[in-house]
Amino acid sequence: MEITLEGKVALVTGCGPNIGSGVALALSRYGAKVACNDVDQGVIDACIKRIERNDGEAMAAPGDVTDEEAVKGYVDAVLERWGRIDILVNNAAILGGRGVLDETAEAFERAVRVSSLGYFLNTKHVGRAMAERGIRGSIVCMSSSNGWNGSAGVIAYAFHKGGVNNFVRAAAMDLAPYGIRVNSFTPTAPTPDNPELLAQGAQSVLNGPPPKGAVRHGLGSEGGDEPWRRPARWTGERPPMVPMGTTGTPTDIGHAVAWLSSDFARLVTGVDLVVDGGARAKNFAYFPAPADQLAGPLPLINLDDTPLPVS
């Protein structure tokens, strides 16, 4: 089976350097033209540059996914340039946050708004564009393991990712009469493999740890040292927690999303595709074998020809 997206046009929201960029690149490498959306023009430029240096075709689709006029504007721009949209990947979201005892109402509302309203508006306007043109397209909404399982320190993220999962099932029912498929995709903390991101990580190591007093995200408050607080996570040594030994990379996600967006998945709708090395399937009491005894997955099929930075 040779997956091809030749002749198709994709729109990827939230094309940041990790999952968004990885998915955008994969869709391009499989043959699609890709419109890259974000609120940060620098992020868009970096994603387009990555696609073009790997011989793909891309365009900028800047705009806030929560602004309906902005969404209609960049959807129209893609249609004006390429005449169609066959694939939508809803990926824009606000990562991180704080736990339920410390999150602010403002931060909670903004995080939920970006994901919920962003996914809705893009699905609405791209779905209409598909339906009007008789395009039996694919819409993929990025979920998260946090949408299925509890995790401390990210209450807003957990809330809106959980909502994604049922939004997908309902939207799949709405769009099924048009032959448009809607699915979710669940990754689990992938290991970055974007050369630029790896280079930035290497530079941050050289720059040293963040300054004392920097705002802490995820657990506790900015201080987090009140006497009544209890730890939310175990911070000691753990055995490997993922059955396959790795949760994979954005390239692994890209391969799977490309298949989900292809004609080979023509009857796949209203479901969640998980690529996480078995993390979600694992029973809480199960510990995989020691790391040196895990066979691990097959070698990664790489999609970015850029040399990785030398460590």
Each residue of 137-179: pLDDT tens digit? Answer: 999 999 999 999 988 899 999 999 999 999 999 999 999 999 9
Structure tokens at 107: 């931060």
Per-residue model confidence (pLDDT) at position 96: 87
Q: Nearest-CA neighbor of 171 among 202, 210, 125? A: 125
Radius of gyration of the chain (CA): 20
Residues 6+ away with beta carbon under 8 Å from 78: 9, 11, 35, 59, 61, 85
Q: Does residue 157 have an active-site annotation? A: yes
- Which parts of the chain have pLDDT scores under 50? 203-207, 210-221
Per-residue model confidence (pLDDT) at position 235: 77
- CA pair distance 128, 132, nearest whole angstrom: 6
- Catalytic: which of 119, 157, 178, 286? 157
Alpha-carbon distance values, 114 to 12, 24, 107, 118 (Å): 15, 20, 11, 5
Number of separate helices (H) and strands (E) present in the chain:
7, 7
| CATH pick for 9-197+240-282 out of 1.10.10.60, 3.10.129.10, 3.40.50.720, 1.10.760.10 | 3.40.50.720
CB atoms within 10 A of CB 293: 9
Structure tokens at 106: 């403002």
